[in-house]
Amino acid sequence: MKIAILPGDGIGAEIVEQAVKVLNALGQKFETETAPVGGAGYEAHGHPLPDGTLKLAKEADAILFGAVGDWKYDALERALRPEQAILGLRKELTLFANFRPAILYPELVGASTLKPEVVSGLDILIVRELNGDIYFGQPRGLREAPDGPFKGAREGFDTMRYSEPEIRRIAHVAFQAARKRGKRLTSVDKANVLETFQFWKDIMIDVSKDYPDVELDHMYVDNAAMQLVRAPKKFDVIVTGNMFGDILSDAAAMLTGSIGMLPSASLDANNKGLYEPSHGSAPDIAGKGIANPLATILSAAMMLRFSLNLPAEADRIENAVKKVLSQGLRTPDIFEAGTTRVGTAEMGEAVVRALA
């Protein structure tokens, strides 16, 4: 089994290093190959997604990704910015189904900014569509406004669009995920305003006929944002488009206290996937050895489960993470009085020890 290792920028290298350590401690044979991506790709080859990196990602069985982005690339033209690497991988590999679980570990209930009774026991899953929507819709760009009260003025524009097959395939993924959990699916849309999302809602209803055992409901995105902070435990699985999913998944992540704990998986139709922490590259703390590697380690566990068919090994990693938390080990992002503050590498080593 070949794993492409794409550490990226900022804290990417240090957190991915810990996840690789954990993978290597499982006693399985993995072939790994590392390649630069994001700002690191730009530095090495003049492009955030160099040809060699894309080729490696395509031929690997799974991809372990760190994070990309650094303010120092803000002035580059859009096509050369680090974010294009992850968008390009999602599109080139047709990784359309993004799983973003938000789970609150009992030990971390105090790390959340919400009251314990609102978040304790939280276990929800956001399924975000990743290949369509306003992220990729054409046309887009800058132009002279063709009409309206500001006709002739400069305007920026993007196109929101979803085709029927795109909505159907993410709907099936989401219903199947809900079937394996609490059998409740909330489709988040903006059908009251947007044609694209009225269509989305209609297709969701149609696909729901194949899943009579799953209860489907619909929520407007503004209300969903409110419900996520008001009563997040009412959700089981949420399915939504690329843009709304981007926003809601960050909100959901913070319910758990630290975005440093949340893994994610981006899958194609054959369960090949890219696995990355839900958080970004945090250039402000890069190289300091204080970043939380647990989201990346948990992403490696998702990789074993979804793409490499090693569910027992995935369980071992997840249990090891629970164990180090119960031992009181905390990186600064989740530190509380009475616990033991550790750095990135120490946390990785503790997970390795807890595997035994």
Q: In the complex, which residues of this chain contact Mg ion (CB under 5 A)? A: 246
Catalytic residue among 61, 158, 246, 268: 246
Least gap, CB of 138 to ligand IPM (angstroms): 17
Q: C-alpha angle 94/35/39, rounded to 5°?
A: 85
- 246 is annotated as an active-site residue: yes
Catalytic residue among 42, 70, 73, 190: 190
Least gap, CB of 163 to ligand IPM (angstroms): 20
State the binding partner of 123 from ligand IPM, Mg ion, none, CB within 5 to 8 A by kind.
none
DSSP assignments along 113-145, one per residue:
SS-HHHHTT-EEEEEEE-S-GGGT-SS-EEEE-
Residue closer to ligand IPM by CB (options 87, 237) is 87
CA distance 30 to 199: 43
Comparing every residue's Cβ against ligand IPM, the nearest one is 83
CA distance 44 to 39: 9
Q: Pseudo-torsion of CA 17, 22, 23, 25, nearest 10°?
A: 130
Length of the chain in residues, anyone?
A: 356
CB 9 within 8 A of CB 36: no
Tokens 């209860």 identify what position? 215
Least gap, CB of 246 to ligand IPM (angstroms): 4
Residue closer to ligand IPM by CB (options 215, 246) is 246
In the structure encoding, which two tokens stand for residue 230, read together?
A: 């008001």
Residue closer to ligand IPM by CB (options 83, 346) is 83
Residues 33-92 that bind ligand IPM (CB under 6 A): 83, 86-87
State the binding partner of 86 from Mg ion, ligand IPM, none, CB within 5 to 8 A by kind.
ligand IPM
Provide the residue type at 24 as one letter: N
Q: C-alpha angle 62/65/70, rounded to 5°?
A: 160
CA distance 165 to 167: 5
Residue closer to Mg ion by CB (options 23, 188) is 188
- From 258, 321, 315, 265, select the one nearest 290 (Cα to Cα): 258
- Terminal-to-terminal C-alpha distance of the chain: 23
Least gap, CB of 136 to Mg ion (angstroms): 15
Least gap, CB of 44 to ligand IPM (angstroms): 20
Least gap, CB of 83 to ligand IPM (angstroms): 4
Q: Verify binding: residue 158, ligand IPM, rule CB under 6 A.
A: no
In the structure encoding, which two tokens stand for residue 245, read together?
A: 């999913």
Residues 234-253 that bind ligand IPM (CB under 6 A): 246
Catalytic residue among 61, 158, 250, 268: 250
Residue closer to ligand IPM by CB (options 266, 307) is 266
Please confirm whether the linkage preceding 139 is cis (ω < 30° from 0).
yes
State the binding partner of 83 from ligand IPM, Mg ion, none, CB within 5 to 8 A by kind.
ligand IPM
Catalytic residue among 42, 73, 135, 211: 135
- 151 is annotated as an active-site residue: no
Residue closer to ligand IPM by CB (options 5, 87) is 87
**107: which residues sit within 8 A by CB, 6+ positions away?**
325, 326, 328
- 189 is annotated as an active-site residue: no
Number of residues that bind ligand IPM (CB under 6 A): 4
Q: Pseudo-torsion of CA 168, 270, 240, 120, nearest 10°?
A: 140
Helix (H, G, I), strand (E, B) or coil at 176: helix
State the binding partner of 87 from ligand IPM, Mg ion, none, CB within 5 to 8 A by kind.
ligand IPM
- 135 is annotated as an active-site residue: yes
Residue closer to ligand IPM by CB (options 283, 289) is 283
Binding site residues, ligand IPM, CB under 6 A: 83, 86-87, 246
Give catalytic residues, as residue numbers: 135, 190, 222, 246, 250
